[in-house]
Amino acid sequence: MPSNTAPVENKMGTMPVVRLILNMSLPMIFSMLIQALYNIVDSIFVAQIGEDALTAVSLAFPVQNLMISFAVGTSVGVNAMLSMKLGQRDQESVDNFAMNGVFLSFCTYAVFFVLGLTCVMPYLQSQTSSFSIVEYGREYLCIVTTLGFGVFAGTMFDRLLQSTGRTFLAMISQIVGAVINIIFDPLLIFGIGIFPKMGIRGAALATVLGQIVGLFVSVILNIRCNKDIHFKVKNLIPRLKIVCDIYKIGIPSILLSSITSVITYFVNIILGRFSTTAIAVYGVYFKLNSFIFMPVFGLNNGIVPIIAYNYGAQHHKRITNTIRAALLMAFSIMLLGAAIFELFPDRLFRLFNASDEMVELGCNCLRRIAPSFLGAAIAITLSSVFQAFGSAVYSMIVSFARQLVVFLPAAYLLSLTGDVNNVWWCFIIAEFMSVGMSLFFMRRIYIKKIKPIPVK
């Protein structure tokens, strides 16, 4: 006898929009805030060694970001293919993609291991002539590259949890790694208790220790809780088609994320022509900005499945209400962040043991960049909307144009004025250009995909 009970619709189609966005986003926001807090605390401790040490860590950022870009890009490809094979109930392919992904993560680590042994000195010397900064940078980068297998394998095992719907478990491993890093930073940098005083090497070791512990936790959680994947050593043997399928999806993500490394490297060179203090200020700005931007990224990661679901269900009002609510939330977060940067820049820089010169330069930096946050709120949110509608290419176009076509040339041209404070205006120029492009693409999506949906 057929059942008269109608199928229960997913919460993404029924729950009030604002509550739904918070429900989907808060775990990711919390996880990202922990990561941002670690970045800030790590730099605060390094700054106690001296400004040269802080500058060295700033110079190391492009390499660390490049490592993360390759780790995330590879795991994104594995994540997408594995989830698809799970849906097709193809267990053999699921296991092969998972273990080939693990194999690729260690291959990528091997590449950076070699680069860490051979290219660190030329890389640092291309950005500064200061012997002290180069030496600090060498000590730091050699450790984070040669012992950085936790970045690659840890990211991969976290994504294996996410690809099978176990996002909370992935968050646990990330938080554990960040907390271990925060705990061991002061112990190893300053030599507290039984620990030796290691200076900037201690900061690097605390970083890799956190990554390794996070990896260990993620592996245990996968083996014990991730029953959708069978972890067999024989599946580590690489298969060309699987590797190609992974990187067909992963390479665009790698390229998009790697742009930040390229831009930061060249901006460091531009700022280094003025002073090494300017490089340190730029590095501190990135740490502080992550605490403002991470909640917005977490928020927008949450709206992608909501919009995609309601587009599939043809719910016009829920799509538009979700976009409006997300824009308002993101704008509110960025407005608060901009206000903090405008009102308390000196206090923020004092956290990093900043000299008077660094505080003065830092205040100018934060106050000139802060207004760009309002444009970033719109651009970041619309980028997630593009992804939800399957138009991620729009996000790529905006990102490439913003950073390579506008941001970097603007930074160089503004540096020719001879005043380092003018360089910071490139953020506003680039951000509001990206808003214009994002609104243009959003209009196309609205006309082609949202407007035709009947309003119920």
Instruction: Give residue limits of the domains in the chain.
Output: 14-24+273-456, 48-260
Exposure pattern of 137-158 as b/e (b: 16+ CB <10 Å)?
A: bbbbbbbbbbbbbbbbbbbbbb
Written as six digits, the tokens of 180 are 């271990």
Query: Would you give the DSSP letter of residue 236?
Result: G
Give dist(CA 454, CA 43) in Å, integer. Answer: 52
For residue 419, what pLDDT is reported?
A: 94
Give the pLDDT score at 12: 67
Contact by Cβ (8 Å): 105, 75: yes
User: Cα angle vertex 92, ends 89, 96, to 5°?
Assistant: 120
pLDDT at 10: 61
pLDDT along the chain (456 residues), means of 10: 49 78 82 81 90 92 92 84 74 86 94 94 93 95 95 90 77 88 93 92 94 94 86 85 86 83 93 93 91 88 80 84 94 96 94 91 96 94 85 85 93 95 96 94 92 83
Q: How far is CA 35 from CA 212, 284, 298, 310, 318, in A?
A: 15, 15, 12, 31, 31
pTM: 0.85
Backbone dihedral angles phi then psi of residue 391, each to the nearest 5 degrees: -115, 50
Give, as one character, the DSSP assignment of residue 11.
Answer: G
Q: Using CB atoms within 10 A of its CB, is residue 50 exposed (0-12), middle (13-18) or buried (19+)?
A: middle
Rounded to whole angstroms, the Cα distance separating 321 from 317 reads 6
